[in-house]
Amino acid sequence: MGFDQYHEPPEELPADIRTFARLCASLTEEAEALGWYEQRIAVETDPQALAIMRDAQGEEFKHFSMDLEFLLRRTPPWRAVAHGILFQEGDIVERGEQAEAEAFDEGGSGAQGSYEDGSLAIGSLKGAPR
């Protein structure tokens, strides 16, 4: 079993960062699985096999979404940007630029606060300078 999700020595990382890294790795794996099923479904001709793979891909949709939601809840700046992009109409790139600006620049610390909940988004300070 490898520990490739860690970019730094795991023993130097606080528990919450290790959890964050595990969920990031899981998110990546779910996205890969989604891509693989999409390709398999595209070439499969057996109806029963297709049904099974579509069912399996549905599970990966769920897993990917749960991983993402966990990470967004833990990461207010990411959540703020995602809030402006996900489930929105219009050009995705434009939405992305706008969401980034709203979260960090224009009014990023304005009347609504730095982040979605209006807080200072200090959170955990493990690993911060003394």
Cβ proximity to another protein: between 36 and 70 the closer is 70
For tokens 């399996």, the residue is 56
Residue list 69-108, contact with another protein (CB under 8 A): 76, 106-108
Burial of 67: CB neighbours in 10 Å, binned 0-12, 13-18, 19+: buried
CB 40, min distance to another protein, A: 39
> What span, in angstroms and rounded, lies between the C-alpha atoms of 41 and 124?
43
Q: What is the largest CA-CA distance in the chain?
A: 62
Subset of residues 10 to 69 that bind another protein, contact rule: CB under 8 A:
11, 14-16, 18
Q: Tell which one of 2, 9, 90, 110 touches another protein (CB under 8 A).
A: 110
CA of residue 39 relative to chain centroid, distance: 23
- Nearest distance, CB of residue 66 and another protein, angstroms: 17
> Which residues bind to another protein, rule: CB under 8 A?
11, 14-16, 18, 76, 106-114, 117-128, 130
